[in-house]
Amino acid sequence: MDRFLEMQTFVGVVDAGSFVKAADTLNLSKAAVSRYVVDLETRLGVRLLHRTTRRLSLTEEGQVFHARSKALLTGLEEAEAEITSRSDLVSGLLRLSVPVTFGVLHLAPLWGLFKAQHPKLRLDITLSDRVVDLVEDGYDLAVRIGRLESSTLVSRQLSSTRLVLCASPAYLAAHGTPTHPAELAGHAVIAYSYWSGRDEWSFDGPQGELRVSTQPCIRTNSGDTCRAAALAHQGVILQPAFLVGPDLAAGTLVELMPQYRAGELGIYAVYPTRQHLSAKVRRLIDFLVVQLAGRGPTW
């Protein structure tokens, strides 16, 4: 058992890039992590890691041992996942990264239901609009909204949401209602920092695609802040329907130029690999598909 813990700890340190991060991931003290690695090096009679105050690096022997250990641990996880997948019970830690607003409005109400279905699972949910590195940061799965760029990651679409151009009735009464996207150049615009086009907004209208340049009076990396500014009559926003849908229904925001479509964004579950997909991640993806599928038209 100690040999297994030594191997698991060594791989954890290498993958995490530090003893402190590995201790958090493995739920061990830093002293225990250090002891396991030292005991492993002593038993093997070789140095596996170069340690400095700034970083860790593998020796030549460490590279070989890490590759072999990783393969053995992966094989063990696959064997356990295969057996567990035949049972209704899944267990262990599931680390997730989800967007802030979507996570609060639409995912937060689901976690209790998922946990009730799988009581032995432990959920670690981080809300962030930053695009995390799943492998480097140690996440099992991320929910992402947008047009996915090609990568080595695997994705499954859960739903979609349309982008809505809108403003408050009071703002429109004071500044006029635009009838063509080109008129946005003369309006106060509240911009979302993470849009790939930044200040250039794209629309698909009766005459085809057109792009317009905007001059934001407010720029923010928070969709909630964009919405709040629009509700305070500060300007025009382009935000997903899952965020502004209730405001449109209540009349506190008004959709502009519906004949010019700003497009749809996919809502995806993203995970590192299909080959070694664990039962707990598979269960979560299937759960989210069921819960979110069909909501797209209302978003």
- Residues present in the chain in total: 299
Compute φ and ψ for 236, nearest 5 degrees.
-100, 140
Indicate the pTM of the whole model.
Answer: 0.68
The span from the CA of 39 to the CA of 184, in Å, is 66
Q: Are strands 189-192 and 216-220 parallel, antiparallel or unpaired?
A: parallel
Walk along the chain (299 residues) and give the pLDDT tens digit of each residue: 478 889 899 999 998 888 988 888 888 898 989 999 999 999 999 999 988 777 888 999 999 999 999 888 877 876 766 665 555 678 889 999 999 999 999 999 999 999 999 999 999 999 998 888 888 888 999 999 987 765 667 889 999 999 999 999 999 999 999 999 999 999 999 999 887 677 889 999 888 899 999 999 999 999 999 999 999 999 999 999 999 999 999 999 999 999 999 988 899 999 987 656 788 999 999 999 999 986 755 67
State both tokens at 102. 């979507």
Distances (CA, A) of 177 to 47, 102, 168, 187, 230: 70, 29, 10, 9, 14
pLDDT for position 169:
98
Compute φ and ψ for 178, nearest 5 degrees.
-65, 145
The span from the CA of 137 to the CA of 95, in Å, is 10
The span from the CA of 204 to the CA of 209, in Å, is 4
**Are residues 173 and 200 in contact, defined by beta-carbon separation less than 8 angstroms?**
no
Provide the terminal-to-terminal Cα distance of the chain, rounded to the nearest Å. 51
